[in-house]
Amino acid sequence: MAEHVGVVLADIVADDATGLAGAMGVGFEDDGQLRALVGLAEDFDDGLRTDVLAFALALFTGEPQRLVKAPGGRLGIGRRRLTPTAGVGHLAFHLAYSCGRDTSSATFELIALPSV
C-alpha cells in the first residue's frame, strides 16, 4: 500500500527514535510528483508499527499539505497512541483495519522535528 501511494519505508534504529514512533519527510520528484519517506521505530512490535504506518499513510494521502508546510517538510510521529479522532486518525484506523489489524486507535501525536 505504501509503495502504491508513493511512500518509501525505512527503519529508525531505537537510539535515534527516542520519543518517536516514526517520522515522515516529503519532497518532490523531478517530474513534480509528491513523494514521502516514512521511518518506523524498529523497537516497536509489528502491530504498533502497522498502526503508525497506517497513520503516516493517512496523513500523506489525506492531508499532504500539512507535511509540505511543515518545517523542512518533516514531521515526527509520537510514541503515545491518542484517542481516535475524526479526519486523518479515522482514516488511519480504517487503513489498519483493511489490512487485518484490529486496533483501538491508529491516531498519534505529530511532533515538529528540529532543523538539520
Each residue's pLDDT tens digit, 76-101: 999 999 998 889 999 999 999 998 99
Mean pLDDT of 25-41: 88
Question: Would you place residue 116 in the very low, low, confident or very high pLDDT band (cuts 50, 70, 90)?
Answer: low
Mean pLDDT of 3-11: 85
Q: Which residues of 54-73 are buried (b: 16+ CB within 10 A; e: fewer)?
A: bbbbbbbbeeeeebeebeeb
Asked which of 24-38, 65-79, 94-108 is least confident by mean pLDDT, the reply is: 24-38
Task: Check: CB of residue 38 under 8 Å from CB of residue 68.
Answer: no
pLDDT at 17: 85
List phi, psi (to 5°) of 67.
Answer: -70, -45
Question: Would you place residue 68 in the very low, low, confident or very high pLDDT band (cuts 50, 70, 90)?
Answer: confident
Mean pLDDT of 9-28: 90
